[in-house]
Amino acid sequence: MRKNVIFLLARQLCKDAFRSKVMLIASLLILFLLLFSAYTGWENYHDQNLTRGLVQDDVQESWESNPDKHPHRMAHYGSFALRKKHVLSGFDLGMENFVGNAVFLEAHKQNTVNFSEASMSTGLLRFGEVSLAMLLKVIIPLLIFYLGFATIAKERENGTLKLLIGQGITRKEIVFGKWLGLWSLSLIFLFTVFLVVLFFVLIGSHDHLHSDTLIRYFVLLLSYLLFFGILSAITILISAFSKTAKGALVKLLGIWLLFVIIMPKSLQAIGYYFYPTPSKIEMETAVEHDLTKLGDSHNPDDPHFKALKDSVLLAHNVQKVDDLPFNYGGFIMAQGEKLSTAVYLDHQERLYEVYTQQNNVERYSAFINPYTAIKNLSMAFSGTDFKSYLHFKSKAEAYRFKLAQDMNQLQMDFIPNKGKEGPSKISNKYWKEFPPFEYKFLAITKVFKNEVISILALCLWGFLVIFGLSRLSTNLKAI
pLDDT tens column, 399-448: 999 999 999 999 999 988 876 777 888 999 999 999 999 999 999 999 99
Of residues 422 and 12, the one with the higher pLDDT is 12
Number of domains in the chain: 1
Q: What is the CA radius of gyration of the chain?
A: 30
- Residue 205 above 70 pLDDT? no
d(CA 413, CA 427): 13
Average pLDDT rounded to a whole number, residues 113-133: 68
Average pLDDT rounded to a whole number, residues 31-35: 93
287 Cβ contact list (under 8 Å, min separation 6)? 343, 344, 347
Adjacent-strand bridge partners of 110: 105
Adjacent-strand bridge partners of 278: none
d(CA 431, CA 435): 9
d(CA 201, CA 375): 20
Mean pLDDT of the chain: 89
3-class SS string, the chain: CCHHHHHHHHHHHHHHHHHCHHHHHHHHHHHHHHHHHHHHHHHHHHHHHHHHHHHHHHHHHHHHCCCCECHHHHHHHCEEEECCCCHHHHCCCCCHHHCCCEEEEECCEECCCECCCHHHCCHHHHHCCCCHHHHHHHHHHHHHHHHHCCCCHHHHHHCHHHHHHHCCCCHHHHHHHHHHHHHHHHHHHHHHHHHHHHHHHHHHCCHHHHHHHHHHHHHHHHHHHHHHHHHHHHHHHHHHHCCCHHHHHHHHHHHHHHHHHHHHHHHHHHHHHHCCCCCHHHHHHHHHHHHHHHCCCCCCCCHHHHHHHHHHHHHHCCCCHHHCCCCHHHHHHHHHHHHHHHHHHHHHHHHHHHHHHHHHHHHHHHHCCHHHHHHHHHHHHCCCCHHHHHHHHHHHHHHHHHHHHHHHHHHHHHCCCCCCCCCCCECCHHHHHCCCCCCCCCCHHHHHHHCHHHHHHHHHHHHHHHHHHHHHHHHCCCC
Identity at 84, one-letter amino acid code: K
Residue from 459, 473, 477 nearest 219 by CA: 459
What confidence score (pLDDT) does residue 158 get?
81
Residue from 57, 238, 257 nearest 152 by CA: 238
What is the sign of the dihedral through the CA atoms of 144, 149, 150 and 153? positive
pLDDT band at 124 (very low <50, low <70, confident <90, very high): very low
Residue from 178, 166, 90 nearest 134 by CA: 90
Residue from 170, 107, 157, 140 nearest 235 by CA: 140
Q: Count of CB atoms within 10 A of residue 455's CB?
A: 18
**Lowest model confidence (mean pLDDT) among 86-100, 202-216, 455-469:** 202-216
d(CA 369, CA 260): 9
- Residue 246 above 60 pLDDT? yes
Task: Dump pLDDT digits (tens) for 42-88.
Answer: 998 999 999 999 999 999 999 999 999 999 999 999 999 999 999 99
What confidence score (pLDDT) does residue 304 get?
79
Which domain does 62 fall in, by range?
Answer: 3-475
Average pLDDT rounded to a whole number, residues 452-466: 95
**Lowest model confidence (mean pLDDT) among 251-265, 314-328, 427-441:** 314-328
What confidence score (pLDDT) does residue 166 get?
78
Is residue 194 within 8 Å of 382, Cβ to Cβ?
no
Task: Dump pLDDT digits (tens) for 214-238.
Answer: 999 999 999 999 999 999 999 999 9
